[in-house]
Amino acid sequence: MRPTGALAIFDSYEALIIWFVVLVTVGEMILFPHTPQQRADAAGIQELFDCNVLELAWNDALTRKPDPKTIELAIARFDNRKDSEQQWQALKDWFESPQISTLPLHQARIVCQKENIRWDSGQRREWARWLFIGIAAFVALLIAIGILADWPMQKFFVGPVLLSIPLIIAIYNHSSEHKKAAERLEHLEEVVAQLWHDACQQDADIDAITRRTRNVQNEIYRHRRENVPVFDWFYNKLGNKYAPPSSTANAEP
């Protein structure tokens, strides 16, 4: 029995899936070799921003300061965006917790770091969940098409299933990377929580707190440099979901 109507396109499913896998593979070969350097550049710019805002000393042993030309090119690309003015406005109050303006600097730094970690961890967990759902939906769709098109079992597994395995594995691995990164950030959250507790003590050693805060910042930079980021559209979709509520003004971060 040959499929009819809209399902007729899947009668030559091998060619469709092969072309799709080839396109994905070529895309990975072209784009992926450049992403580590782009991550390093972006992490360096973010580190420079954080050090200036939080008044933390730059750690020369961690990385070099980003090339000013790299920053200028990034700004130029940002200005070319259709929503650049709106995005510039959003950057003015990057750290949103109402605590920050009322706390001494050694405590305010910790709240800012907590926000960075909360944002990143939450986004990565949601993105990983979306990818897992996408894999499940793709497999379900493949099975449904196979049933509706009346594909023989051997043809189904030797054809679309076999050809789709590399793509499914790639998406699964990508999702797992984000999940592992989020788990690492959860540990860092525990470290920051203890740092906050110590910073709130009346006899807190501010110099020691600042050194420990610098150590946390080192881990934030390494995380940004080594882990693949989420897409801008996904970041924007979440909006302020992981921003601290206004009621936390006097609460522990």
* Confidence at residue 12, expressed as pLDDT on a 0 to 100 scale: 57
Alpha helix (H) ranges present in the chain?
13-31, 35-54, 68-79, 84-92, 105-148, 153-156, 162-199, 206-226, 232-238
How many other CB atoms sit within 10 Å of the CB of residue 137? Answer: 10
Asked whether the beta carbons of 230 and 178 are under 8 A apart, the reply is yes
Task: Using the structure block, give the residue that is written with the tokens 């700004």.
Answer: 75
> Closest Cα to residue 217, out of 148, 117, 136?
117
pTM check: above 0.95: no
> Where do the structural domains in the chain lie, given as residue ranges?
13-28+37-248
* Confidence at residue 81, expressed as pLDDT on a 0 to 100 scale: 79
* Confidence at residue 167, expressed as pLDDT on a 0 to 100 scale: 76
* Confidence at residue 101, expressed as pLDDT on a 0 to 100 scale: 82
Torsion region of 55: left, alpha or beta (phi above 0 gives left; psi -120 to 50 gives alpha)? left
Report CA 119 to chain centroid distance, whole Å. Answer: 9
Q: 46: pLDDT confidence band, cut at 50, 70 and 90? A: very high
Express each pLDDT in 67-113 by its tens digit: 999 999 988 988 887 877 877 776 776 666 777 888 999 999 999 99
Token couple for 191: 């470290």
> Closest Cα to residue 135, out of 167, 176, 88?
167
* Confidence at residue 36, expressed as pLDDT on a 0 to 100 scale: 79
Cβ partners under 8 Å of residue 79, min gap 6: none
pLDDT above 90 as % of the chain: 36
> Closest Cα to residue 147, out of 159, 156, 137, 136?
156
Express each pLDDT in 129-171 by its tens digit: 888 898 888 888 877 877 776 777 766 666 667 767 777 888 8
Higher pLDDT, 129 or 19: 129
* Confidence at residue 155, expressed as pLDDT on a 0 to 100 scale: 65
Token couple for 215: 């150590």
